[in-house]
Amino acid sequence: MTASIATLSGPAFDVERIRADFPILAREVHGKPLIYVDNAATTQKPQVVIDRIDAYYAHENANIHRGVHSLSAEATAAYEAARETVARFVNARAANEIVFTRGTTEAINLVAQSYARPRLGPDDEILITALEHHSNIVPWQMVCQQTGARLVVAPIDDRGEVVVEEYLARLSPRTRLVAIAHLSNALGTINPLEALIAPARAAGAAVLVDGAQAVVHAPVDVQALDCDFYAFSGHKAFGPTGVGALYGRAELLEAMPPWQGGGDMIKVVSFEGSEYNDIPYKFEAGTPNIAGGLGLAAALDYFTALDLAAVMAHEHALLEAATARARAVPGLRIYGEARHKAAVLSFDIDGAHPQDLGTLLDHHGIAIRTGHHCAMPVMQRFGIAGTARVSFALYNTQEEVERIFDALERVRTMLVE
Q: Which residues carry out catalysis?
A: 374
Closest among 371, 367, 368, 334 to 354, alpha carbons compared: 371
Kindly report the number of other CB atoms within 10 A of residue 64's CB atom.
20
Closest among 120, 115, 137 to 128, alpha carbons compared: 137
**Which residues make Cβ contacts (< 8 Å) with residue 271, sequence separation at least 6?**
none
* Angstrom distances, CA of residue 308 to CA of 7, 193, 219, 277, 390: 14, 19, 8, 37, 21
State the DSSP H helix or E strand holding residue 401, giving kind and residue range, or none if neither: helix 398-416
* Angstrom distances, CA of residue 368 to CA of 16, 305, 379, 399: 21, 28, 18, 16
Strands 125-129 and 150-154 turn out to be parallel
Closest among 242, 240, 216 to 296, alpha carbons compared: 240
Q: Give CA–CA dist 66/89, Å, rounded.
A: 27
